[in-house]
Structure 1
Amino acid sequence: MADLSDNQKKTQIPPPKEGFSLGGQAPNQSFGAPAVSGSQASDFWQSDQTKNLGTDTGLSKPGPNQNLSTSKFQLPPQDIQVVSRQSSVVSRQKNQIVPEQQPPTTAPQPSAPNPRPSASPTQDARIIAKETLDQREAEKVFHEGMLSVRDIIAPAAFVINPGYLQLGDTFCKTLFVYTYPRYLEANWLSPIINYDITMDIGLHIHPLETANVMRELKTQVGKIQSSMMIAQEKGAPRDPELETALGDVEALRDVLQRGEVRLFQLGLYFTIYAHTLEELGTLTKQLESTLGGMLIYTKETLLQMDSGFVATAPLLRDAISVLRNLDTGSLSSVFPFTSSELTQEDGILYGVNRHNNSLIIFDRFNLENANSVVFAKSGSGKSYMIKLEALRSLMFGTDIIIVDPENEYKNLCDAVGGSYLRISLNSQQRINPFDLPRGLDPEKESGEDILRSTISSLHGLINLMVGGLTPEEDALVEKGLYEAYALKDITTDPESQKNEPPIMQDFYNVLSNMNGTESITRRLSKYVEGTFAGLFNAPTNFELKPGFVAFSVRDLEEELRPVAMYTILNYIWTKIRMDMRRRLMIIDEAWWMMQYEDSAKFLHGLAKRARKYYLGLTIISQDVEDFLSSRFGKAIVSNSSMQVLLKQSTASVDIVAETFGLTEGEKYLLLESDIGEGLFFAGLNHVAIKV
């Protein structure tokens, strides 16, 4: 073969590989591959992907001196599939569909069977689109089966009625304010915020452009002056309402012009929640009455209850748009910057208000009564809090009397120089339960009242000692008590009540001489002649001194503790009535007395009458459920103007929440509180406290 020129060398076509033919048929006709025209081949070479394909298969672009217009060449079926697949890949890349890596080409195999033709680019795109759609559908189904926040907070049902909404088992309705008085006092919204009901309040504030307001006010001034001139021309008397309106508008224009205030539009909405429709109606009337007393009038969002609910939800959407114009000063009085505060000029420090870090300084004797109850689980800091209250009250001249079942107050009593009296079988101190109060004002309590109340207290003590009385025995005991006092010449005459009172032995002797009292005397004998003889069968040998006095019953047998606590309280009550002064009586572990009806009844009577004798009764209990399960326990709580709830257990928090009307947030606060933290109730106000 002759040598080729340099130009011809550059354009020389390499010899075709096996299975390819240019300008003729392929030697292997068994493939049955279709022929490709020269123009198609030319387009084929223009693609970058096809250039790579040609290089991989040993093909080169034809030179300029070669004419392929009439030439034909055949590709094996495998290479045709590669071209089709590469074209579809290019098409998908242009459409930004998931990229596909270019598959490597393989050399043709003459003996390979005829493969299935590849899909067109359109069909391939449809397949990918269908796969993407199926994947998205699968993801949607998967996410529908997952728990979301909306599933947790959504009610079981949302029923829209013309006059109320029903959210599961809860009913609610929304009210809007449509008029305000001429003057608004500071913190006028505070009574509503501290209202002891479940309620949402929505404040929607829209600032107005001062320039637009000034133009509108100028127009209003012209209208008012025109009305006044027309009335004057008609000879009508002056209209104070128009003059007042003109003065208000002019004053507002002046302060707006000086930039001292701005004008706003306010939308104020209240959504009330209740468990029943009757309760919802009652709460609505109470709210309307409270606001009406301040000349602020409301209406219900009838036929728009769903819009009202949205207006008070934290969604920043005012779907009601009942707006009123207020200046800066009036608007500032609406802001709920206040919270319940229990700070007075006099009183003692109880702790820190956890809402606003203010001090809780309070005098319990300024309330309707000075009684207090403290409920907390063991180790929550209730004894520490009561010791602080006792010590600080003592510094202000209040006498402190404590019934201490566990010797917790001995160190404090010794530190302040108080009297610590041990009541036990081995101690020297004795209390005569038959003592009568002396020196009482005859105008307040007659001799008959004194004797009757003493016998009533003794009747409960005897019932507690013998473990219960039948109606017949009850009558015999009452008769025996009167006869025991008669033996000492004590009658309803106040002068006779100065005589030495009887003791338990005298009463026992009287019962022994009566018919039908064998069972009573047999059960009572252990307090006179048996194991417990001497504890309640001797004259009182000490006096209740002013200052700090504590009675210890720790060394008493468990069977005697309720009887001893009853006797001690009866003695203290007798002495308090004889010398009225400011006192605090603290009864720790009061659940001991609530176990028996007679002692619980006595404690309840003490709580009701303490106010008349300048006495503040403090009852402490860690067994909340047992205390509140008694009918007298709830009555004692109702007669206590101050209540302290520290950390509670999960077993008792529900009954505490029900008794004190706590919200869910307050209930969880008691469960999560640290030592010395809880809720402090004083009258109608309550705050979170940290001692």
Structure 2
Amino acid sequence: MMAKKRTDPIDIAAQQRAREQSEVEQAFLKGMTTLRDLIAPSSLEIHSSYFRIGTKYGRTVYVYGYPRKLFTGWLSELINIDQVIDISMFIYPVDTTIVLNNLRKKVTQLEADMALNAEKGRTRDPAKEAALVDAEELRDELQVGSERFFRYGLYVTIYADSLDELSFVQHTIETFFGQMLVYTKTASSQQEQGLNSTVPQMSDQLQIRRNMSTGAISTSFPFTSADLTQEDGILYGINMHNNGLVIFDRYTLENANMVVFAKSGAGKSFTVKLEALRSMMIGADVLIIDPENEYQKLSDAVGGSYIRLSLSSDTRINPFDLPRVIDSDEADDALRANLVTLHGLLRLMLGGASANSAGVGLSPSEEADLDQGLIDTYARVGITSDPLTHTATPPTMIDLYDTLLHMGGTGPQLAQRLRKYTSGTFAGIFSQQSNIDINNNMVVFNIRDLEDELRPVAMYIVLSHIWNTVRTQQKKRMLIVDEAWQLMKYDDSANFMFSLAKRARKYYLGLTTITQDVEDFMGSKMGRAIVANSSMQLLLKQSPSAVDVLGDVFKLTEEERKRLANFPVGQGLFFAGQNHVHIQIVASQTEQGLITTNPQALLQQQEQERES
């Protein structure tokens, strides 16, 4: 017989260990990962006054003091602040019976203290009197069931990329709270508990609470923010802070003026055309100065008037036209106001580039002779300072040329310089009686085909003509000046633009100024004044050099400056009054088809039209 070979127990144990080790190695190589591994930070460091999650720094602060009264929506500004923060509120109901007993004791104590002070002849204590009134009111409301009582805790955790930035954000939040007499403290040596209290796990580990009634707690409801949202107005876009709608009526502000800054292709014309289209739906007329033929499709779609200004067209605008002013006080000054406007125009026409560098393009003697020539030109057709004479047919540039040619002094020299506008290269368009009618809901003045030298002059004359019409008949209007930087290059046209911005509100006019040349516009004294006189501003994507300029003017945070240079098309910062939000401009498919200037989108539309 053969003897069976016995297995050594030591060998069995070694084989078992080898198998287990192999299984562990296979599991490790397989890389089994749980959900917790995916969402957990790479590291967590807890310090006494801050913590660090991965590469981010954080700090938790808690609210420990409140004023006597809080107003609805007091947390709205914090909810919409342009920083990364977590906010936690903990509300614990308290038995009304317990609160009533405590209030009864408190009222008795306060009354006793006040009576004791009165007996001893001490001066009254306003704080105790106010506390007694509040306690009595709260006890009455609790007794009838109109109020309930709660314990309330409010914690805020802020995040930043560095400790310096963390301190800056904390200072911003403390300033915001301090303005409302709400006081905060850093959760010293409790940063871990503070972090756990503000992450979404319903754990109040700080347990710092304050007694509040139903009415007081209701004011802290976090989603009452109505920033840039009204019942009336038009939809501008989506508030990217809280996904709310930005619905606003620009005519409810101090003035209805708006400035739009953006680099080429950022969506500024798209945004303004969208606003114009929607404003027409609520009864506003729209007037547009179009230097690049971008508004013709929109004008045709709404049945507007499209006026093409060029040396070869039959369109004529007479800068000597007078407004039919209804206001009797202004009727007396209508001629004088138009003379001032003509002075600026003629300095632009006769002075050329020197009007920008030297401030004026004419010498003092030429100014004096020009002024007399203008007055005499009106007088020759019977128009004087008397408002009754303002209905007469106005003179033209040819009449002024003739007046200057036959007067003494520098008149003949001025006439020679003016001749190119009366019988020379630029003759016709601004030297004859007006033949245009802007009595339409949308009127577009196209100046694309004008020579570069004539463009600023044309924009000035068109603006003057529109201003005369606005003063003649008061109604809700919007005036859009695209590529306004061309006017800001010359002092006289810049002054005229500022005058429009300053006086537009009186005539129910909203001036929209669009420019992509931010440095030139903001480098002008009048450009900055126009921005200051505009209650609404829209900043779309900017070039890096323009970000610093706008950041200083609009007091933007570092985060907003970073975003301003990297916004996608159609996103920007929208300012209205004292508020501003990050906005996404949105349009329907029909609106998109009417107003887009994207070459690719236009080609697709043309292909679809051919196929249909």
TM-score by length of 1: 0.63
CA contact (8 A) 1:527 1:537 kept: yes
Q: How does 1:116-135 map to 2 (within 5 A)?
A: none
Report whether the alignment pairs 1:371 with 2:261. Answer: no
Please say which of residues 375-384 and 326-335 is displaced more in the overlay: 326-335
Structure 2 unaligned residues grouped into runs of 5+: 1-51, 120-128, 159-163, 199-203, 353-360, 586-612
Q: Which among 268, 272, 281 is matched to residue 382 of structure 1? A: 268
- Kindly report the root-mean-square deviation, in angstroms, between the aligned alpha carbons of the 2 structures: 4.5
Question: Distance between the aligned counterparts of 1:463 and 1:227, measured in 2?
Answer: 79
Distance apart, 1:179 and its partner CA = 4.3
CA contact (8 A) 1:202 1:268 kept: yes
Distance apart, 1:529 and its partner CA = 2.2
Question: Distance between the aligned counterparts of 1:627 and 1:240, measured in 2?
Answer: 55
Q: How does 1:644-655 map to 2 (within 5 A)?
A: 644-655=538-549
Report whether the alignment pairs 1:356 with 2:242. Answer: yes
SS at match of 1:388: helix
Q: Which among 440, 448, 463 is matched to residue 569 of structure 1? A: 463
Distance apart, 1:587 and its partner CA = 0.9
Q: Which amino acid aligns with 2:239?
A: N
Question: Distance between the aligned counterparts of 1:571 and 1:227, measured in 2?
Answer: 74
The 1:152–1:632 alpha-carbon spacing in structure 2 relative to 1, beyond 3 Å, is farther
Question: Distance between the aligned counterparts of 1:511 and 1:230, measured in 2?
Answer: 92
Partner of 1:446: 331
CA contact (8 A) 1:430 1:536 kept: yes
The 1:526–1:326 alpha-carbon spacing in structure 2 relative to 1, beyond 3 Å, is same
SS at match of 2:383: coil
Question: Distance between the aligned counterparts of 2:387 and 2:133, measured in 1?
Answer: 74
Partner of 2:278: 392
Partner of 1:496: 389
Distance apart, 1:421 and its partner CA = 0.9
Structure 1 unaligned residues grouped into runs of 5+: 1-148, 155-173, 292-296
Question: Distance between the aligned counterparts of 2:176 and 2:93, measured in 1?
Answer: 37
CA contact (8 A) 1:339 1:355 kept: no
Distance apart, 1:190 and its partner CA = 3.1
Q: How does 1:78-227 map to 2 (within 5 A)?
A: 178-181=65-68, 184-190=70-76, 218=101, 221-222=104-105, 224=107
Distance apart, 1:586 and its partner CA = 0.9
Q: Which among 606, 615, 619 is matched to residue 509 of structure 2? A: 615
The 1:329–1:394 alpha-carbon spacing in structure 2 relative to 1, beyond 3 Å, is closer
CA contact (8 A) 1:194 1:685 kept: no
Distance apart, 1:308 and its partner CA = 13
SS at match of 1:461: helix
Partner of 1:64: none
Q: How does 1:125-524 map to 2 (within 5 A)?
A: 178-181=65-68, 184-190=70-76, 218=101, 221-222=104-105, 224=107, 245=135, 248=138, 262-265=150-153, 290-291=179-180, 297=181, 324-326=210-212, 330-334=216-220, 336-339=222-225, 341-442=227-328, 444-447=329-332, 449-466=333-350, 467=352, 468-512=361-405, 513-524=407-418
Distance apart, 1:332 and its partner CA = 4.9
Write the deviation string for residues 62-118 of structure 1: whole angstroms up to 9, x where unpaired. xxxxxxxxxxxxxxxxxxxxxxxxxxxxxxxxxxxxxxxxxxxxxxxxxxxxxxxxx
SS at match of 1:531: coil
Partner of 2:601: none
Distance apart, 1:540 and its partner CA = 0.8
Partner of 2:473: 579
Distance apart, 1:395 and its partner CA = 2.4
Question: Distance between the aligned counterparts of 2:286 and 2:569, measured in 1?
Answer: 25
Report whether the alignment pairs 1:601 with 2:488. Answer: no
Q: Which amino acid aligns with 1:326?
A: M
Distance apart, 1:307 and its partner CA = 6.5
Distance apart, 1:205 and its partner CA = 6.2
Q: How does 1:632-647 map to 2 (within 5 A)?
A: 632-647=526-541
CA contact (8 A) 1:264 1:328 kept: no
Distance apart, 1:557 and its partner CA = 0.6
Aligned residues: 500
CA contact (8 A) 1:267 1:321 kept: no
Write the deviation string for residues 547-590 of structure 1: whole angstroms up to 9, x where unpaired. 11111111111111001111111111112211222111111111
Distance apart, 1:498 and its partner CA = 1.4
Q: Which amino acid aligns with 1:363?
A: D
Distance apart, 1:440 and its partner CA = 2.6
Distance apart, 1:341 and its partner CA = 2.6
Q: Which among 492, 505, 524 is matched to residue 630 of structure 1? A: 524
Partner of 1:61: none
CA contact (8 A) 1:255 1:261 kept: no
Q: Which among 531, 543, 550 is matched to residue 425 of structure 2? A: 531
SS at match of 1:652: helix
Q: Which amino acid aligns with 2:236?
A: Y
Question: Distance between the aligned counterparts of 1:508 and 1:243, measured in 2?
Answer: 82
Write the deviation string for residues 361-411 of structure 1: whole angstroms up to 9, x where unpaired. 221111111111111111111111211212222222221111111111111
Q: Which amino acid aligns with 1:580?
A: Q
Report whether the alignment pairs 1:549 with 2:443. Answer: yes
How many percent identity over aligned positions? 45
Write the deviation string for residues 208-265 of structure 1: whole angstroms up to 9, x where unpaired. 7969x98787566456558879999xxx9xx997686367469769989x9x764235
Report whether the alignment pairs 1:690 with 2:584. Answer: yes
Q: Which amino acid aligns with 2:255?
A: N
Distance apart, 1:202 and its partner CA = 9.8
Question: Distance between the aligned counterparts of 2:554 and 2:469, measured in 1?
Answer: 33
Question: Distance between the aligned counterparts of 1:599 and 1:240, measured in 2?
Answer: 61
CA contact (8 A) 2:299 2:442 kept: yes
CA contact (8 A) 1:488 1:501 kept: yes
The 1:368–1:223 alpha-carbon spacing in structure 2 relative to 1, beyond 3 Å, is closer
The 1:522–1:153 alpha-carbon spacing in structure 2 relative to 1, beyond 3 Å, is farther
SS at match of 2:456: helix
Distance apart, 1:632 and its partner CA = 0.6
CA contact (8 A) 1:267 1:323 kept: no
Structure with higher Rg: it is: 1
Question: Distance between the aligned counterparts of 1:308 and 1:486, measured in 2?
Answer: 86
Question: Distance between the aligned counterparts of 1:437 and 1:655, measured in 2?
Answer: 39
Question: Distance between the aligned counterparts of 1:441 and 1:216, measured in 2?
Answer: 66
CA contact (8 A) 2:149 2:211 kept: no
SS at match of 2:238: strand
Please say which of residues 661-670 and 239-248 is displaced more in the overlay: 239-248
Distance apart, 1:605 and its partner CA = 0.6
Question: Distance between the aligned counterparts of 1:460 and 1:340, measured in 2?
Answer: 44
Partner of 1:5: none
CA contact (8 A) 2:64 2:184 kept: no
Q: Which amino acid aligns with 1:663?
A: T
The 1:672–1:315 alpha-carbon spacing in structure 2 relative to 1, beyond 3 Å, is farther
Question: Distance between the aligned counterparts of 1:325 and 1:269, measured in 2?
Answer: 22
